[in-house]
Amino acid sequence: MATSWGAAFFVLVASCVCSTVFHRDQQTWFEGVFLSSMCPVNVSASTLYGIMFDAGSTGTRIHVYTFVQKIPGQLPFLEGEIFDYVKPGLSAFVDQPKQGAESVQELLEVAKDSIPRSHWKRTPVVLKATAGLRLLPEEKAQALLFEVKEIFKKSPFLVPDDSVSIMDGSYEGILAWVTVNFLTGQLHSHSQETVGTLDLGGASTQITFLPQFEKTLEQTPRDYLTSFEMFNSTYKLYTHSYLGFGLKAARLATLGALETEGIDGHTFRSACLPRWLEAEWIFGGVKYQYGGNQEAGAVGFEPCYAEVLRVVQGKLHQPDEVQRSSFYAFSYYYDRAVDTDMIDYEKGGVLKVEDFERKAREVCDNLENFTSGSPFLCMDLSYITALLKDGFGFAGSTILQEINK
């Protein structure tokens, strides 16, 4: 899921202006992602369209974007978006690649209904797969991508050579950062005053921000830093993608399922689940039996937090600067905040890290009486709290702007 939203939007925006905005003579991280062949044939046209598929671990989403280019050669503005999705994600079709590609075909019909027929041939269609496919064996992932590419070739849209690929985790974080700062106006103003981004998908999580202190750069592992030039400014970002630390992967780690790989007949139990619960859950094409901890007194926030803490403690880099920076959070951060009425679904909202902990305590300490569409709500909220505080090192008072993906 990560990306997700950020990658989906900016891959298409940049593709339409890359030849006039980006310094193409330099080797940059977006080589091979922002392709000149993705630009519509008539870049001076006032209305442009783009189709972006985000193939995440939990589902495949289509974004059909409409851009208005008021001045040829300048950055177009997003006029509208049509969104739809199917579940499960492509990774669930690990041994049925043709069936996985058929789910993409279903979503292509949405694009046909949304874009004028006269624009089909010059509208680029792109699919970027994220952590769900990165977790699969290489040959199985490539088989899925091959079938998707065949579906694209049969469509009436413009299909670039590299239209179907697995996106590197660091790209997800960078693209999300570029998108948020583009939409909030920082990149238009060539300002170094930017906001950081936090993306929590099903299989991975990303953190990206622009360091303001030399100390941060000195204390950061070299492979966590990426420099690039864009819009006549140079940016040196702190960015890292943690594979296996997405919300659903964290559930497996909390249950201990990652170590035992879902042994037949074995039920994984957790203090984060209602004591009476007995259920099954499918993730990544594997079925798991799970349930609550039936020992007396072994449920609630404290024992649950101890479980999720083992997943993140000491395993993530903690840059001190994040405690003094502004961050936008989306994907599962947003979803769980909406699920528990901490923010409005349409408007989003502003939360502190400690708000997630407060809500986690409320839910976990009332498991037997709490009614929810997801039995994992206590675990998810506790994990988000642990990820932010004990994983990334955010202070409880750190403010997060929650936005929809």
According to DSSP, the β-strands at 60-68 and 47-55 are antiparallel
Q: Is the peptide bond before 88 cis (omega within 30 degrees of 0)?
A: yes
Flag whether 284 is marked binding.
no
Predicted pLDDT at 234: 80
Predicted pLDDT at 378: 95
Predicted pLDDT at 262: 54
Predicted pLDDT at 372: 61
Predicted pLDDT at 353: 94
pLDDT digits (tens, 9 = 90+) for 291-305: 888 776 678 899 999
Flag whether 401 is marked binding.
no
Flag whether 234 is marked binding.
no
The model's pTM is: 0.76
Percent of the chain with pLDDT over 70: 81
pLDDT digits (tens, 9 = 90+) for 11-29: 544 444 333 233 223 333 3
Flag whether 279 is marked binding.
no
Q: Using pLDDT thresholds of 50, 70 and 90, give the confidence band for residue 318.
A: very high
Q: Are 195 and 180 in contact (CB under 8 A)?
A: yes
**Rounded to an integer, what distance in angstroms lies between the CA atom of residue 358 and that of residue 32?**
44
Say yes or no to pLDDT of 74 above 90: no
DSSP summary character for residue 33? T
**Structure token digits, residue 296:** 């007396």
Say yes or no to pLDDT of 46 above 60: yes
Return the amino acid letter for 128: K
Catalytic residues: 172
Flag whether 206 is marked binding.
yes
Average pLDDT, the chain: 82
